Every structure is written in structure tokens, then in C-alpha cells.
Amino acid sequence: MFKPQKKKIIKKAKNKKKMKKMLFQSPKGMHDILPEEQSYWEKIRKVSREIADFYNFSRIDTPILETAEIFERSIGETTDIVEKQMFILKTKSGDRLALRPEGTAPIIRAYLQHGLSRTGHPLKLYYNGPMFRYEKPQAGRYRQFNQIGFEIIGSDDDPIFDAQIILVTYQLIKELKIKDLTIQINSIGCKNCRSTYQKKLQNYYNKLGLNKICKDCQRRLMINPLRLLDCKDKNCEEFKEQAPIILDNLCNSCNNHFKVTLEFIDELKLPYNLNPTLVRGLDYYNKTVFEIFTEGVEVAIASGGRYDYLTEMLGGRKIAAVGSGLGIERIVELMKDREIVVPPAKSKPKAFLIHIGEPAKKQSLGLIEEFRKGGIKIIESLGRDSLKSQLRIADKEKVFFALILGQKEVFEESIIIRDMRSGAQETVPIRKAVEEVKRRLK
């Protein structure tokens, strides 16, 4: 009677497990974009290009590495991004560089460095690329993530540009068939009225008692009180709701700016809610801030706001600006979750080249190039030799024509063109193959 060799089986299973552990994997929080996902990414890139082109935004690309001080100055040294989430490296010469955690500060650096103000105002720019933040990986949030952003620089503080940035961002998401969108919007005022409000906020929390708020908020209370409203700790939520409201403490100029911004949004008939606790996590924002949500999802798909002080923070003169950013990974996950069908971005092949024998195989690559020059997409299966298996693939790919090149055809300098719909086939000179397929495709 056969007895299973348990010890050997267990040992083999352990070895397999060990081998699996030894395999290299992508770093924690960083992910591959596989071929089957590329159709979503191509769709998002295509729609963003079309939206940018229609609203007259020009493409800009900045390095993924920047001087760390750019972000420390602009985002704020006491923000979570600078304190906890930046990837910092030192060069051999001692320079401190950071993998960019966001896209706006590098664009303003490029704007100042290259004198882009000479190109005229307002300057409309958009970007698409990877960002890096060292944070706990979650659904739709990675340590390397990709972002699309829109910026309007030199807009003279005109509320119409706040409304246009919101519109452009909203329309991009809407074009991707994501429905039930809502804009959360607030104003955090200017330096003057925000300073007065921060004192009221500090007084409120001091009276409340430091022991009632989280440790992060205790620290923020002293160095950056506005960030108290951005706390995600559940214990702090109820205290945020009872805190003084910033909209009640805006100066006349900021109040009027926000009022006119909302009038433009009303005119556009965009759905929005006032959110007095919305402050955003970056120090460079002032006046209008916003986030865009879709029903049933707690995290924002897009966000942005005005940043009139950022050029000063980076050593230039004060220039008004407003912008937004969208997380591509979050949008892709939403599209999948809501079963938004995106057909593959590849163009459909028109013909399939079948080779039979080594002489035909050798001639195949050159013939494929002739079709490429002629603007006809042709596919092949050069690793297979069987006529039957190659015809099966041609049928599966639903091409219009199969081009059959065998040893006889190579010798006679001809090729068989087979109509895959009717089954009819004809032999033509190989030099006329591209011309003949073009004629039959008309």
C-alpha cells in the first residue's frame, strides 16, 4: 500500500514559502501600474490634456527632487508633511534634497527661477507626475502617488480665477463619469484677519483644557492653531464643531472676496457646501480653500485654494495665485469601484501576419516595418510556427485580414491576403501588400 511521504511534502512546502519571502517586492506604499490598469491612466491623462487645452493651461514639468528648504518654507515646518512625511536625502556635497511631496511649490520655484512673469498674466499651468509622502499606506493613498494639478499665477486676487480653478477641477472629474460630486469650500482669510481669529481659537481651546485634546493638537495650539481644525482625531471632532467660526472673523476685503467667489460658483450652478473647519494642511494657503468629494467616499478626490503669499515665502515679490490638485490613484479606484468601463487605449489592429517556416520568419520583421510606415497596425505571433494556431489568434483578435507568408511565397516574392470575414483569399506581389490592404480597408 502506498504511504504518502509527509516529511518530504512539508519540507517542500516550507522551501516554497521561504522562496516566496526571498522574492523582491515594490517598496512599502509604492505600487506598480500593471498593463490591465493602463487604460484608466491613459483615459485620465487624455481627459486632463483636453481640459487643460480647452481652458488654455500650458504643461510644465519639474524635477521630482527639490531643495528641502523649498517645502519647509512653503508648506510649513510644523505641518505633518514637513515633520513626518518628507523623504529627505543628502548629496555627497551635503545638499539636503527632498522627493517632492506636492507640486505647487516647485512650480512657483520654476516661475521665479525662469522669469515666467514675462510671459504675461495670468499664467495658467498644469502638471501630471509622481509625488512622495512617507505616511501609512491606505486605500487610494500611497507613499508614491500621482497627481494632476492646475495653477493660475498672477491673477491679481480676482475671485473669478478661484471659481475657474474649481470649475476646471470639477469638470475633469465629471468628464471621467464620476457622479454625485460636492464641493466643500471655506475661506481662511488673509494674514491680518487670520491672526485675530487664531487668538480667538487659542482662547477657546485654553478654556476648554489641554487634557481634552490630542497631543498633536496640544502642540499645534502653541505653534499653528489653525491646524487644530484639520485634526482627524475622533476625540477632537466635537470640540472643532464648537470652535469659533473663521467666516465670522474675516476682514471686509476677505469677506467680499469669498462672497464674490461664491457668486461665480452659483452662476456656474456647481453644488457646494460651506465647511468652516476646512483649512487644508499646507501653510501657504490663504482666502479660498476647497475640496471635492463624491457621495459615499470620506476622502477628497481633489483639493486646492488660493496661495497669494507663496512667491514671497520663496524669495520673490507677492504675486496672487490659485491652484488645485487631483489624486490619480483615488480616481482610478473610484472608477473601478463604480464599474466605469474604460476601453483599452490601444488602437485596433487591422491585419495579422502569419509566417510559415524560417525564411518567412526572417522576412517578417521587415514586412511589419513597411506596414508601420504605411500607417496600418499589424500584429503577429512570431513565437508560433503552426498555421492553425496563428489563424486562431488572428480570428480571436478580430482583424480584417490575415497575411500569410510561407516558403513558397518568399520564393515567389508574393503574399496571401485572406479576408477574415468572408474567408476569400488572394495572392498578391509582396511589394504591393501595404497598398492592397489599404485599398481593401476603404
Query: According to the model, what pLDDT value does residue 224 have?
Result: 82
Query: According to the model, what pLDDT value does residue 284 have?
Result: 86
Is the separation of the CB atoms in 437 and 401 below 8 Å? yes
Beta strands at 351-355 and 401-405: parallel, antiparallel or unpaired = parallel
Query: According to the model, what pLDDT value does residue 141 have?
Result: 77
| Mean of the per-residue pLDDT values of the chain | 89
Candidate ranges 72-76, 139-143, 175-179, 241-245; pick with highest mean pLDDT:
175-179
Outline where DSSP puts E strands in 49-102.
58-59, 65-67, 87-90, 96-99
CA distance 401 to 419: 5
- Reported as a single tens digit per residue, the pLDDT across 288-338 is 999 999 998 988 999 999 999 999 999 999 999 999 999 999 999 999 999
pTM for the model: 0.85
- Reported as a single tens digit per residue, the pLDDT across 260-286 is 999 999 999 999 999 998 988 677 899
Q: Which fold has domain 35-190+251-337?
A: BirA Bifunctional Protein; domain 2 (3.30.930)
- Reported as a single tens digit per residue, the pLDDT across 126-173 is 999 999 999 887 766 789 999 999 999 997 889 999 999 999 999 999
User: What are the sequence ranges of the domains in the chain?
Assistant: 35-190+251-337, 351-441
Q: Is the pLDDT of residue 2 over 70?
A: no
CA distance 440 to 374: 14
Query: According to the model, what pLDDT value does residue 1 have?
Result: 42
Query: According to the model, what pLDDT value does residue 18 have?
Result: 52
DSSP-derived 3-state class of residue 231:
coil
Q: Is the pLDDT of residue 4 over 50?
A: no
Give the amino acid at 421: R
Taking the CA atoms of 264, 266, 272 and 274 in sequence, report the sign of the dihedral they define.
Answer: positive
Query: According to the model, what pLDDT value does residue 350 have?
Result: 92
Over residues 10-34, mean pLDDT = 72
Three-state SS string over 120-146 comes to CCCEEEEEEEEEECCCCCECCECCEEE
Higher pLDDT, 20 or 382: 382
Q: Identify the CA nearest to 182 among candidates 285, 267, 265, 103.
A: 265
Give the amino acid at 9: I
Q: Is the pLDDT of residue 106 over 90?
A: yes
Over residues 203-213, mean pLDDT = 85
Query: According to the model, what pLDDT value does residue 20 have?
Result: 57
**Phi, psi (5° rounding) for residue 217?**
-70, -35
* Spacing of C-alpha 189 from chain mean position: 29
Cell 510606415 found at: 373
CA distance 151 to 160: 14
pLDDT-based confidence at residue 377 (cuts at 50, 70, 90) = very high
Q: Which fold has domain 351-441?
A: Rossmann fold (3.40.50)
Q: Which of 54-63, 76-85, 131-140, 262-271 has the lowest mean pLDDT?
A: 76-85
Query: According to the model, what pLDDT value does residue 10 have?
Result: 52
Query: According to the model, what pLDDT value does residue 168 have?
Result: 98
Higher pLDDT, 207 or 253: 253
Q: Is the pLDDT of residue 8 over 70?
A: no
